Amino acid sequence: MGDVESMKKQAGIAACEFVKSGMKIGLGTGSTVKHTVIEIGRKIIDENLEIVGVPTSLATEKLALEVGIPLVELSDIDGLDLVIDGADEFDPNFQLIKGGGAALLREKIVAQESLAMVVVADERKKVETLGAFPLPIEVTPFSHEATVRALGRLLDCRVNIRMSGNGPVITDNGNMIADAHTGPKITNPIKTESEILMIAGVVQVGLFNNMCDAVVLAGSSGIETFVKPNGRLSD
């Protein structure tokens, strides 16, 4: 297993320390948190862990069912204890860019319904200022060219519709993803998030502000867990 893959696996498994029997857990999407999902499935079988999960994408739903995690609909329960998810970038204030896997809308709804959020990541995701990773924005297919132009004017950068082969990537919600190449310049992510959400045609943006309470980070020297001071997981 390559270094990065092994770091992802370590972080994904280490985050299970936050999972306790009886919890309702949001299950994130991506190549890091998939290891959390697999480990939760193992604990259900080997350690009688009792949890129910809410997946943030069709891909995670499939994996969770394969590893034996009982799933419920967010609409049928009164919130979640915790969501564990990946991120594309996180800054020193625990603000995130997410959506590299095109699941940002369901991820944000699930995070919003959770009492706390733990991010699993490898050290490449840690940045001083958000934006080197192109900012994913879910947009309606209707008039997406106009929405892309409006985003380009607002952010003053190149914005393109994410492609897969010859066609656009279509999200689990039937929408498209516009990637905004801002560069590492998002110094006020709260303002940027609210300005982007003002544009008609934008469904959601992959800036996750004031949602993340801890980051389980895998680096070459092992696992470090950073808990946000005064966050929902701080003592």
Q: Which residues belong to the active site?
A: 107
Does position 88 interact with ligand 5RP (CB under 6 A)? The reply is yes
Query: Which tokens go with 145?
Result: 């060219």
Figure out which of the listed residues 104, 110, 137, 214 binds ligand 5RP, where binding follows CB under 6 A.
104
Burial 198-221 (b: 16+ CB within 10 A, else e): ebebbbbbbbbbebbbbbbbbeee
Does position 53 interact with ligand 5RP (CB under 6 A)? The reply is no
Q: What letter represents residue 197's amino acid?
A: L
Figure out which of the listed residues 53, 55, 86, 134 binds ligand 5RP, where binding follows CB under 6 A.
86
Does position 28 interact with ligand 5RP (CB under 6 A)? The reply is yes
Does position 114 interact with ligand 5RP (CB under 6 A)? The reply is no
Considering CB under 6 A, how many residues would be counted as binding ligand 5RP?
17
Least separation in angstroms between residue 200's CB and ligand 5RP is: 23
Q: Within the chain, how many helices (H) and strands (E) appear?
A: 6, 15
Does position 31 interact with ligand 5RP (CB under 6 A)? The reply is yes
How far is the C-alpha of 135 from the C-alpha of 133, rounded, in Å?
Answer: 6
How far is the C-alpha of 44 from the C-alpha of 107, rounded, in Å?
Answer: 23
Does position 103 interact with ligand 5RP (CB under 6 A)? The reply is yes
Stretch that binds ligand 5RP, among 80-88, 141-149, 161-169, 175-183 (CB under 6 A): 80-88
Does position 186 interact with ligand 5RP (CB under 6 A)? The reply is no
CB-count exposure of residue 52 (10 Å: 0-12, 13-18, 19+): middle
Q: Which residues bind ligand 5RP (CB under 6 A)?
A: 28-32, 85-88, 98-104, 107
